[in-house]
Amino acid sequence: MTKNKIREAFQKVIEKNNMPLRIIMVESFEEAIKVSRDEAKEGDIVTLSPACASFDMFPNFEVRGNKFKEIINGL
């Protein structure tokens, strides 16, 4: 599965460079946003910065961005 390969690649970089980062796996776009909100501290900025297309979920980047805004505005 692609997301597992991406996670493994990131994990290798994190471990190799002794970076204090952790990867949180989620099952949906909505869950990713809610987890980001829960993890963020006051003053943090959460941005949508996808590493690749998500044609399995959205027809294009505009629809994806609009869905992001819709979820954020509903929090």
- pLDDT digit string, tens, across residues 42-55: 999 888 777 777 88
State the Cα angle at 62 between 57 and 65, rounded to 5°. 75
The pTM of the full predicted model, rounded to 2 decimals, is: 0.67
Angle at 21 between CA 28 and CA 38, to 5 degrees: 45
pLDDT band at 1 (very low <50, low <70, confident <90, very high): low
pLDDT confidence of residue 53: 77
Q: DSSP letters along 8-41, please?
A: HHHHHHHHHTT--------SSHHHHHHHHHHHPP
Return the axis-axis angle of helices 61-73 and 29-39, rounded to nearest 10°.
50
